[in-house]
Amino acid sequence: MKLRAALLAATLALGAGACQDAANAAEPVVEAPAAKRVAKEGKGLKTAVFAGGCFWGVEGVFSHVRGVKGAVSGYHGGTERQADYKLVSSGITDHAEAVKVVYDPSVIRYDQLLRIFFSVVTDPTQLNRQGPDTGAQYRNALVPLSAEQNAVAKAYLAQLKAAKLWDQPIVTKIERAQAFYPAETYHQDFMLKNPRHGYIVRWDAPKVAALKAMYPGVYTARFQPN
């Protein structure tokens, strides 16, 4: 079942150096199915990395999920020297804007995080872009950090492709884990600190609203800071 995220009020002006703002159409959200391959990760906190466009929204959604202990915005891949917002945003590096999520699998499993990711965080049919943001740095990708995560990610991608929930083919890739570089301090907990920022209001707050509406059992009103 396909749903469309409702737009919030008027768009506010964006400050310099922010994620881009362009198109007028709302990003769709899709009620992805529960994973057939359930993650079995054992006890203790686990970590996963997701790339799904501008990291503000990815971080914002996961920070409202029960069992998530922290979500850090950063850059996956590329070099440490070039892990700089201006350079990454220019598209000249090999990084992807990404979020490292620390979670308790006894509360929220990796397969459930995948379901949330594909339902309300990213449009898996957009190649090297996401919403208004264009370039390979905004690609959507899964970065498994364990053999179990890798197996679950592969199985879920196959399940989604077979389900044909989207009109266009899924282009989300599974990327080999590389170095993850935390983004600059002002990017961390950006939605919490800047709830009225134009980009947050226009693009990311609707994703959190969709999380609450679609998965109330895992949604928490409290933003979990990293």
Higher pLDDT, 25 or 19: 19
Report if residue 4 sits inside a domain. Answer: no
Q: What is the set of active-site residues?
A: 54
Which residues, 6+ apart, have CB-to-CB distance to 226 below 8 Å? 59, 63, 70, 71, 72, 188, 189
Report if residue 23 sits inside a domain. Answer: no
**Calpha distance 92→167 (Å, rounded):** 31
Q: Which CATH number characterizes residue 198's domain?
A: 3.30.1060.10
| Residues 104/45, Cβ–Cβ less than 8 Å | yes
**Calpha distance 16→32 (Å, rounded):** 35
**134-185 pLDDT, tens digit each:** 999 999 999 999 999 999 999 999 999 999 999 999 999 999 999 999 999 9
**Calpha distance 10→63 (Å, rounded):** 25
Domain housing 90 = 40-214
Q: Quick one: which of 199, 226, 225, 218 has its CA closest to 14?
A: 199
**What average pLDDT does this structure show over 55-73?**
98
**What average pLDDT does this structure show over 56-72?**
98
Report if residue 13 sits inside a domain. Answer: no
Alpha helices by DSSP H, the chain: 55-62, 85-90, 110-116, 147-163, 190-193, 198-199, 205-214
Q: What pLDDT was estimated at residue 10?
A: 27
Q: Classify strands 140-143 and 173-174 as parallel, antiparallel or unpaired.
A: parallel
For residue 173, the SS3 value is: strand
**65-96 pLDDT, tens digit each:** 999 999 999 999 999 999 999 999 999 999 99
Report if residue 11 sits inside a domain. Answer: no
Confidence tier at 19 by pLDDT (50, 70, 90): confident
Q: Tokens standing for 105?
A: 């699998």
Tally Cβ neighbours within 10 Å of residue 182: 14
What is the count of structural domains for the chain? Answer: 1
